[in-house]
Amino acid sequence: MVAHAKETDAIVLNCAEHGESDVIVTLFSQDAGRLTAIAKGAKKSKKRFVNKLELFSFLHITYQQKANRSLAFLAEAELHTSFLHIRQDLALYSIASVIREFLLIGVKENEPDLHIFRLSLWALHNFDQKHPPMTILALFLIRFFDYVGYRPDLQACMHCGSLVTAQNRYNFDTTIGSIVCSDCNPHSLKGLPLSLGTIKMLRSAQDQPLERLHRLKISGSILYETLSLLQNYGNQLFQRDIVSWKIVRTFMKTRK
């Protein structure tokens, strides 16, 4: 059976050498979700794929895929942008790798998601333009959890239903994905404490159009609380260790 060539935009999430001359690349594609493809001869005769099959590269690809086969054949790749700054800066690279790991876990084959695709490109562009990377990471994750169906509930206490007020204190319970007020959780035994400032920032990050998301500024204790929450919530949701967090935490004291 002849497989017809298809075209789509795609972000490179992983590359692995295969045999003597081939490369297997894992992509987040706009039209097909996660896509694994073999680039024949990419290692030896590099002409066709030179400087293209690199982590985070944004490509336009032509590929063939037989029905019932998960491995596609990569015919051609054109480079939209390589996001070179990300690959030249270790801190930036590690922070972007948290996103890469989440995409590898969260994006499924044959399940395209334009929201997550646009959000990922938004984050990579902002990293590359040297916007504060920890802020970009936080904003990405707030929206990503939303798009995969686990929007954190920050409007009202999950137990008593009372709306957030300045008079009360709140913790975020990662096991239920919601805030709990101090009346219902008097000794703060459950969840991570969230200040009112953090709750407000998170809520506006949830509702901001993507074009305006980069305008949100997050710093100091709000950024710290936000990232702790997102790291814990992510671990809870996916039951997987995101390896890159470890390196990122070492940069957290110096980068915003």
Shorter beta-carbon distance to Zn ion: residue 47 or 187:
187
What would the two tokens of residue 205 be?
Answer: 């990050």
Sole window of 44-52, 82-90, 103-111, 159-167 interacting with Zn ion (rule: CB under 5 A): 159-167
Please identify, using beta-carbon distances, which residue of 128 and 173 lies nearer to Zn ion. Answer: 173
Q: Which helix (H) or strand (E) holds 135?
A: helix 133-147
Dist. CA 13–CA 129, nearest whole Å: 20
Total residues at interface with Zn ion (CB under 5 A): 5
d(CA 22, CA 11): 19
Which H or E element spans position 181?
A: strand 178-181
CB of 170 to Zn ion, least distance (A): 9
CB atoms inside a 10 Å sphere around CB 182: 15
103 contacts Zn ion (rule: CB under 5 A): no
Burial of 151 per CB tally in 10 Å (0-12, 13-18, 19+)? middle
Residue type, 31: D
By beta-carbon proximity to Zn ion, the closer residue of 27 and 164 is 164
Complex with Zn ion: residue 29 or 171, whichever CB lies closer: 171
Q: At a CB cut-off of 8 Å and minimum separation 6, what does 189 contact?
A: none
Between CA 193 and CA 30 the distance in angstroms is 37
Residues constituting the chain = 256
- For position 24 contacting Zn ion by CB under 5 A, the verdict is no
From 136, 181, 205, 227, residue interacting with Zn ion (rule: CB under 5 A): 181
Binding segment (CB under 5 A) for Zn ion, from list 6-14, 157-165, 189-197, 201-209: 157-165
* 184 binds Zn ion per the rule CB under 5 A: yes
CB of 189 to Zn ion, least distance (A): 14
Find the shortest distance in angstroms from Cβ 176 to Zn ion.
12
CB of 73 to Zn ion, least distance (A): 56
Residues interacting with Zn ion, by CB under 5 A? Answer: 157, 159-160, 181, 184
